[in-house]
A = this chain, B = another copy of it.
Amino acid sequence: MPRYKATIQYDGTQFLGFQVQNEGRTVQEEFEKTLARINSNEHIEIFGAGRTDARVHALGQVVHFDMENSRPVEKLRFALDTQTPDDIRVTSLEEVADDFHSRFNPHIKTYEFRIDIARARSPFKRFYASHYSYPLDISRIERAIKDLEGTHDFTSFCASGTTVVDKVRTIYSADVVHDAANQELIFTFTGNGFLYKMIRIMVGTLLKIGNSRMEVDAIPGLLAKKNRDLAGPTAHPEGLYLKEIIYTEEN
């Protein structure tokens, strides 16, 4: 049975998240509905590389699924792209080895987090960036963010209540760019995996440092103490984008 890997974008505003839940509209549910429609109403389950939360966006989420019959990939991509709702786009599709798994094959993930730093929040960014209107010394953020790079136990930056035991992750790069023309701060994190709400807690902590309510060199101590309560608040979901997933082994 052929296996397909699809790269998709979605505007998370009107989703309760990626994964199917008991109540509410999800990306997985909408995608599976479309797949069934073009598969003689037979249900096909999809597997996503990352489980984005409500209001979180994706520029490059990856999903895989199996279909009974092999189909021309561009025809299948076009059918999925045009028949999924307008807030989901299927940017590419390929046939992959039948042991490929979007979540378990080794990969590198990149997330982006956008902050609207205009004094008054832009009506056009209210669903697409988190708003932060307090004073920020961006040079403090630029210095502190580098302490997140490397292999660390990120317990202090993981929402409590998670069932994950091993909280060691590697961040290959953590950067912040100040887009002065658009009055935005854009954070980018690339790593081998991220814990639940980890990006949002890192961003909330970096903003607290930028606002001088936390020491610029606080991060190594936070990592060492393994206590979520000591880090900053969780930044709002609408600023977060699952940007890109690169699989590091040949299929």
Contacts and interface: CB of A to CB of B under 8 A. Distances in A.
Nearest to A9: B123
B126 A86 contact: yes
Interface string A108-138: 0000000000001111101010000000000
A182 B89 CA distance: 16
A149 to B, nearest CB: 28
A167 B45 CA distance: 58
Contacts of A89: 120-123
A152 B30 CA distance: 50
B86 A121 contact: yes
A87 interface: yes
Contacts of A90: 120
A81 interface: yes
23 contacts: A9-B122, A9-B123, A9-B124, A10-B123, A11-B123, A11-B124, A11-B126, A57-B124, A81-B120, A82-B120, A86-B121, A86-B123, A86-B126, A87-B123, A87-B126, A88-B123, A89-B120, A89-B121, A89-B122, A89-B123, A90-B120, A91-B120, A124-B128
A82 B89 CA distance: 34
Contacts of A87: 123, 126
Nearest to A59: B124
Contacts of A91: 120
A91 B81 CA distance: 38
A88 to B, nearest CB: 6
A124 B128 CA distance: 9
A102 to B, nearest CB: 20
A25 to B, nearest CB: 14
